[in-house]
Amino acid sequence: MKKIAVYPGTFDPITNGHLDIIKRGIKVFDEIIVAVALSPGKEPLFSVDERVKMISDMTSDMPGVSVESFQGLLIDSLEKHHAHVILRGLRAISDFEYEFQMASMNRKLASKFETVFMMTAEQYSYLSSRFVKEICRLGGKVDCFVPPEINSALIEKFKEKR
């Protein structure tokens, strides 16, 4: 049986920290489906189509990784793909409570799925998409946090917004 994991998130935008989880995750799972949540509540900077396109471009050389958007319950997305695992990155202790709640809720909704956590690499443990956007919006450099293409997309996006 293929080991299929769904890696969900808002990815607004994808960072080196997320890519690190995908690269390490694909050594553990046969397939990873990166599931991009619409997350309207987060008022994303990039549209869901832009986010899917960016992640697809960043992962095009990674066999076994695919990308799609999703809305509705995460567990329905797992069901659709015959996946068994929700893959999440754990950064700092502060992530633990939220992730614990989410994993517990998902288990309550569908106990056949497991949430698997990977420790985010140390150099990305403080990274978040929100800070990356804020730094870029205020004219700071974010090229050490995101791939060059995402860096350019961020700069363009903030130019459009001015």
The one catalytic residue in 18, 51, 88, 133 is 18
6/118 Cα distance (integer angstroms): 13
Q: Which amino acid is at 6?
A: V
* Site map (CB under 6 A) of ligand COA, residues 120-149, x = contact: x---x--xxxx-------------------
Torsion angle, CA of 69/144/133/121, rounded to 10 degrees?
60
Question: Could you tell me if 67 and 59 are in contact, meaning their C-beta atoms sit under 8 angstroms apart?
Answer: yes
Going across the sheet that includes 31-37, the strands are 65-70, 31-37, 4-9, 85-90, 114-119
Q: Is 130 marked active-site?
A: no
- Is residue 58 part of the contact set for ligand COA (CB under 6 A)? no
**Residues between 92 and 111 that touch ligand COA (CB under 6 A):** 102, 105-106
- Is residue 69 part of the contact set for ligand COA (CB under 6 A)? no
- Is residue 36 part of the contact set for ligand COA (CB under 6 A)? no
First to last CA, the chain: 51
- Is residue 89 part of the contact set for ligand COA (CB under 6 A)? yes
Question: Could you tell me if 93 and 121 are in contact, meaning their C-beta atoms sit under 8 angstroms apart?
Answer: no
CB of 161 to ligand COA, least distance (A): 17
Q: Is 129 marked active-site?
A: yes
- Is residue 59 part of the contact set for ligand COA (CB under 6 A)? no
31/149 Cα distance (integer angstroms): 24
- Residues forming the active site: 18, 42, 91, 129
Chain positions contacting ligand COA, by CB under 6 A: 8-10, 12, 15, 17-18, 21, 37, 39, 73-74, 89, 91, 102, 105-106, 120, 124, 127-130
